[in-house]
Structures are given as structure tokens and as C-alpha cells.
Amino acid sequence: MLIETQLPDLLHRGKVRDTYQIDADLLLMVTTDRISAFDVVLPTGIPEKGRILNKMSGFWFDKTKHLIPNHLVALADDPDVAGKFSDSELMRNLPTQVARQAMIVKKAERIDIECVVRGYITGSAWSEYQKQGTVSGQRMPSGMVEGDAFPEPLFTPTTKAEQGHDENMTADEVIAIAGADLARQLEEVTKTVYRFGHDYARERGIVLADTKLEFGLLHGELILIDELFTPDSSRFWDMDGFNPGRSQPSFDKQIVRDWLIEQGWDREPPAPELPPDIVARTSERYLEAYRRLTGAGL
């Protein structure tokens, strides 16, 4: 497993990704096998997770580039990469294990907003609705049950916290960071990309219940960055067992979340070690999601 990378020119180490500077315009983004839950990095890694997420993001960036540009230049293990980046010491000496879990991306000015979009009521949205009848402060129809589809996808942005938990943002708070025009564009593009992914996944037996997108600005143009429609950033449900009114069978890290809740963990560091069976089941579900959505193997 690849839990932490030690390469030259580290720019940022996030919950899951380690990012390195290639040159003034390009970055190497390595997706490790770390896993986080409730905004805390767990001490246990998930085998093949980084490779699956890296290849899945590459797949979706290619599928959605007609909707909005993105930061992907190439997957780091593409055969042509070595020749194109022979001037870079980092790329010349890139270990094979790292290359298969990394992508070369354009350096953009990150917008510090998690653009969350929800198509179905579940998770923290369901908890809030049960208590207040709202989701992210927005009044919802009465009588909804867990797993129901919203009349329209909901844009429920959050802060992007480097440490601690992300917090819900109001429309005014988004405007304060991005400005009115960009805030409106973020909501519209997030919903458009979500609808595309939702419809594509549904044809392959998966319900894309919700997801988060991240954006940046490159030469003043809005682009997608980070990851896209992965089991880390999204909830994937199996359509075969989909039945509103209960928790849905999933292809994401819900197995991990459910186990942590059962342990009575307070959602603050340090997190408990995951048992081998939870690790194995999570790895299997991630791989199944990748196979169903892309039609390819690793």
C-alpha cells in the first residue's frame, strides 16, 4: 500500500492526496491509499484505493470535458509521459508504484469551496431533515424518507477545511468568497456535471446519490480540479437493492462510516484502526464501482 509519499518538491499533503511541483505550470497529484471519514484521516489504508480513485477520476474528467474544462494533463503511468517530461527530475525518477496512482495536472488557483450536490436525501442531510425539516437550511417537502430523490438536485456547498470539519455555507457566504457571478456559475456547473454523471451511472446499475466537486481558475477560466465521481467524493448505491426508506447498499466508504459509528467514535482524532474484514470489503466495493462505471479492470 502507498500511505505516504516522500518525493522532492512537496507542495501540499491533503487527507488523501500528496501534491508535488513539476514546474511553474504543472503539478503531480498522487492519490494515496489513505482513507478519511468524518473529515479525519484513519490510521488504516485501503489496498488499491489510490489506483482506483486515480483511474476513475481520469475516466470522468475525459467524459465531462465537453461540459467544463478540467486540470488533467495525463495519468502519470501513460506510456508517453516519460518522454514528454524527461526534463523533470521528479518525473524521471518517479517510482512505478507512485506513477500508477498519480496524475499530471495544470496548476490552477483553487476556489476554497466544496461544491456539494445532493440528488437524494441521506447522510447529514437526512439527519438535519429529521430534526428540522430542512437540508442545509432549505425547507424540504414533508413526508420524505431516507433515500428519496429531491425534486431537483440541491446545491449545498461547504467550507474546505484544511483541519477539522467542513461547515455548511450560506449563499451569502459563497458570494463573499467567489462573487455573485462566479457563485452562480459554480452552482449551475455543479448541477450540470452531476446530472450527467447521475444519468451515466444509472445506465450502469449505480445511483449517484450525491457528490462533491472542486473548482479552480486557470487564466480566468473556471475548471474542474482534484477528483471527480469517485467512491471517496460520492455516494454510489446499487440500483438492484435501491429502496427508499432505509440505508442503501453502497459502493463507497459507507461501510467504513457505519463501522466507525458502531464503535461509538466521537469523530475526533485519533480514529480507531479498521479491522481486516472492513478493509477488504471496502477495497472490493471500490473496485466493483470502478468496473461497473468504466467497464474496465485495473
How much is the pLDDT for 166?
Answer: 79
Q: CB–CB of 72/216 below 8 Å?
A: no
CA distances to 117, 167, 197, 270 from 186, in Å? 11, 18, 16, 34
Q: CB–CB of 53/178 below 8 Å?
A: no
**Residue in the structure block whose three cell numbers are 478540467:** 70
CA gap 127, 121 in Å, rounded: 9
Residue 32 has pLDDT above 70, yes or no: yes
How much is the pLDDT for 167?
Answer: 87
In this prediction, residue 164 has a pLDDT band, given cuts at 50, 70 and 90, of low
How much is the pLDDT for 289?
Answer: 96
**39 CB-near residues (< 8 Å, 6+ apart):** 15, 161, 164, 165, 166, 267
Q: What is the pLDDT of residues 174-196, one digit of tens each?
A: 999 999 999 999 999 999 999 99
> For residue 248, what is the DSSP state?
P
Position 42: which residue type? Answer: L
The predicted model gives 198-222 an average pLDDT of 98
The predicted model gives 91-101 an average pLDDT of 95
How much is the pLDDT for 66?
Answer: 98
Residue 297 has pLDDT above 90, yes or no: no
Burial class (CB in 10 A: 0-12, 13-18, 19+), 2: buried
Strand residue runs (E) in the chain: 10-13, 17-21, 26-31, 36-37, 40-41, 72-75, 102-106, 109-110, 113-120, 134-135, 138-139, 149-155, 158-159, 206-218, 221-225, 234-238
Query: 56 is written with which cell numbers?
Result: 476513475
